[in-house]
Structure 1
């Protein structure tokens, strides 16, 4: 067993001042390690019941542990285990570890856990016995940069005047870079298409590797419409695929596919009618488009009705170009005998039901977000292969039966009408 450790005297001195007589010094590192291995089950075996370790009365808060030594109990000990390696640290508790404050109130626990995860990820990327941990891994081979924008739409449609439809539009920009050099830099523009209405990105959350990122700027033109300025981002990419940034879009005015679902039940027969209307602002080419109608708490031979829209929409095909709409009708016969594999849901009884749409559109984003290939630059300057992809997917895209009730949640009116001060704070935080 190989042990590497480091003690910070300034932290030790501060801990002594905070803890006073309750201070527990970690003077015997091998003893501390043996106690930690015992708590993790690497001593005496994890399959053997030991009351001091395995009693159900013991309160656990993994990955934070308490280690018993001859000098006393050491808490909190943060542990990350990965591929036969144990990474651990003892954070400083400003309130005093004897008081045992909730973990959420101890910032050093979060910082320590993040540090250990970063160390584990870094060492995981270093080939064993070929390169020391302090030296970065150098890429050898063809240079390439892969960028992808994945945008998601989540919605609940009710087809009722008293209940407005709700939706969320959000996305992720991911990157995979294989470049020569110890620490190459990449600079690129996250832009918007100029045709049609541009939708600004809200609350852009960036990866820690990003060094600089421009703030959002909306520029009005002579016609009164607005243009969203590109956001330039500079970063040093990690070795693996990683999320460069996440974003949300709050200014979407209409859904990509407007749906209506009507189900009526007469005895053991249910008649289903669905209409789907595609927005003219959405690319009319689908990688796939599938409608699922689950039947909960029903005694039927099938747990759900899968409509692949094969007679209307198959992969690579479109909605009818003139109407941009599809009508689907079906009849489902229920059984008298109860089945053992029937779906159960406490809410979806009687006419309370929904249909769910799954679709994927390639080379398209609803917000108009894209990465300008001409803006992608690598430093130090080198030739590289650039690949940029886009995709637009549905997530929990539900259409509730207009003949029944639906699950909804309401937001207090004051939340929907923020004060001007709050709006200013959001604009500032976005930068």
Structure 2
């Protein structure tokens, strides 16, 4: 679904000119591989212009009979042409005309051109037509004066980087594109900034208030069993997300990740392709290696030229010594009722300030909850609308003791889940195999202590930006399994293993 080249050709006042030409070398390489012996190389723009005008019978010198064009054996197809170039042929060339401008596009054919495949089988035809139609609509919005057309042509050159990156049409509504973004305003050709070539991966230039936003998000997974013969498992991994609204073609930013003196070193670091250089010591540590005092503990510096959109600057893991919340869950079956006990303890080193913190206690394969007699020493307990889940809302803080508990009895109908198909079912969680799942977010906190100091962020741009930094800790697949029943056990940890001491 790609195009090899795009041309806009002018026919004003009896003269012809190439107003815009865009070629895609990566697509051309694919065409050479796909077409094999039937491949024809793209000619120079002037040669293509003359060959196209000859094919369209738009020159005075070509009014005589031309065999390949005028033979009665030829089947004409509206807007799709074969353009003879020397001993070869360019096909399929889509051509549309409006207001003395020829819009031409050569679509990629992902197979041999001999014999000619049916047009309906070519995936690139429809996107190519949509691209030309979008260009025609955009240019038709002008008053058709020469200065305004020239201005529009300058904008199209930049907009094509967004609409057709690397030769693949993705957005063909150029008018809407211009409305939603001010990044396609043509620059002064005498500007020194214009000397920089705009990369293909950055399809536009930001215009507006400069701002840099960096957020460190750490997520913690946990599988806790409260058993002497089973080891609890937890995994911590982080992401640094950036959004840089900076003017200029290639502004440069350097973000530094910092750790406290006792912070857990970052490992398994993966960086975004826009990062220009990274100290080799940052990338050499792997989470499967033994932890020792020789690990690099920062600062971790990442210089980069940012894309326009939100992107992940880097990913990392860390072998943190503790999970933030330690829990135990006991569920015993008494006839059709369940006796449950849940205890949760927040580690003293963890910030006691949550945006939200909830414990969900699901009951599978048992039908709806008929009655629940439960007591909590902190927070509120609710039964879900489906009556198959207890939701323990712990609020924004643990009590001073940092411990909370829930005890009670949950009652179910005598005939199990019959006639209750809407209730939770799980072929794995049967009998006493059950769990509590925690959901929480702690703002302005990370388990490793990793943070970004906004004063350490270096920005090389034409204007001084506003810098915003934040960090957060989120739960992810945080399970506490019933110690009185069976539970899945990780045979080999993916990131880190630690015992509670």
Q: Which interval holds the TM-score relative to the shorter structure?
A: 0.5 to 0.7
CA contact (8 A) 2:339 2:409 kept: yes
**Alignment equivalent of 2:432, drawn from 351, 359, 362:** 351
Residue by residue, what CA displacement relative to the aligned partner does 1:152-172 show, whole Å, maximum 9, x if unpaired? 001111112222111110111
Partner of 1:363: 444
Deviation at 1:278, TM superposition (A): 1.1
CA contact (8 A) 1:185 1:379 kept: yes
**Alignment equivalent of 1:298, drawn from 354, 357, 366:** 366
Deviation at 1:180, TM superposition (A): 2.0
- Structure 2 residue runs of 5 or longer lacking an equivalent are 6-22, 40-87, 95-108, 133-164, 187-196, 285-292, 370-386
- Please report the TM-score for the alignment, with normalisation by the length of structure 1: 0.66
User: Partners in 2 of 1:189 and 1:122 — Cα distance?
Assistant: 39
User: Partners in 1 of 2:351 and 2:310 — Cα distance?
Assistant: 28
**Alignment equivalent of 2:91, drawn from 5, 24, 28:** 28
Partner of 2:224: 157
Partner of 2:393: 308
Deviation at 1:140, TM superposition (A): 2.8
CA contact (8 A) 1:154 1:396 kept: yes
Deviation at 1:324, TM superposition (A): 1.8
CA contact (8 A) 1:192 1:228 kept: yes
Number of residue equivalences: 336
Change (3 A) 1:265 1:232: same
User: Partners in 1 of 2:125 and 2:364 — Cα distance?
Assistant: 43
CA contact (8 A) 2:38 2:114 kept: no
Query: Is the deviation greater in 152-161 or in 206-215?
Result: 206-215
CA contact (8 A) 1:299 1:336 kept: no
Partner of 1:261: 329
CA contact (8 A) 1:353 1:404 kept: yes
Structure of higher CA gyration radius: 2
**Alignment equivalent of 1:379, drawn from 460, 466, 472:** 460
CA contact (8 A) 1:147 1:175 kept: yes
CA contact (8 A) 1:211 1:235 kept: yes
**Alignment equivalent of 2:399, drawn from 311, 320, 325:** 320
Residue 172 in 1 paired to residue 239 in 2? Answer: yes
Partner of 2:270: 205
Partner of 2:303: 234
Change (3 A) 1:324 1:163: same
CA contact (8 A) 2:329 2:481 kept: yes
Partner of 2:313: 244
User: Partners in 1 of 2:444 and 2:126 — Cα distance?
Assistant: 39
Residue 234 of structure 2: SS of its match in structure 1? Answer: strand
User: Partners in 2 of 1:264 and 1:117 — Cα distance?
Assistant: 63
**Alignment equivalent of 1:332, drawn from 410, 422, 430:** 410
User: Partners in 1 of 2:123 and 2:178 — Cα distance?
Assistant: 28
**Alignment equivalent of 1:341, drawn from 419, 422, 429:** 422
**Alignment equivalent of 1:285, drawn from 347, 353, 369:** 353
Partner of 2:469: 388
Partner of 1:141: 208
- Structure 1 residue runs of 5 or longer lacking an equivalent are 32-63, 87-114, 219-223, 418-431
CA contact (8 A) 2:219 2:476 kept: yes
Residue by residue, what CA displacement relative to the aligned partner does 1:240-288 show, whole Å, maximum 9, x if unpaired? 1111111111x22221111100001101111110111111221111111
Partner of 1:42: none
Query: Is the deviation greater in 376-385 or in 224-233?
Result: 224-233
Change (3 A) 1:10 1:188: closer
User: Partners in 1 of 2:207 and 2:296 — Cα distance?
Assistant: 42
CA contact (8 A) 1:80 1:117 kept: no
Residue 365 of structure 1: SS of its match in structure 2? Answer: coil
Change (3 A) 1:265 1:208: same
Partner of 2:139: none
CA contact (8 A) 1:145 1:175 kept: yes
Change (3 A) 1:78 1:407: farther
CA contact (8 A) 1:67 1:77 kept: no
Partner of 2:340: 272
- Please report the TM-score for the alignment, with normalisation by the length of structure 2: 0.58
User: Partners in 2 of 1:170 and 1:123 — Cα distance?
Assistant: 40
Change (3 A) 1:11 1:85: closer
Change (3 A) 1:198 1:16: same
Change (3 A) 1:68 1:407: farther
Residue 374 of structure 1: SS of its match in structure 2? Answer: helix
Query: Is the deviation greater in 134-143 or in 339-348?
Result: 134-143
Change (3 A) 1:186 1:412: closer
Deviation at 1:408, TM superposition (A): 2.5
Residue 212 of structure 1: SS of its match in structure 2? Answer: coil
User: Partners in 2 of 1:299 and 1:274 — Cα distance?
Assistant: 21
User: Partners in 1 of 2:358 and 2:89 — Cα distance?
Assistant: 60
CA contact (8 A) 2:34 2:112 kept: no
User: Partners in 1 of 2:298 and 2:356 — Cα distance?
Assistant: 33
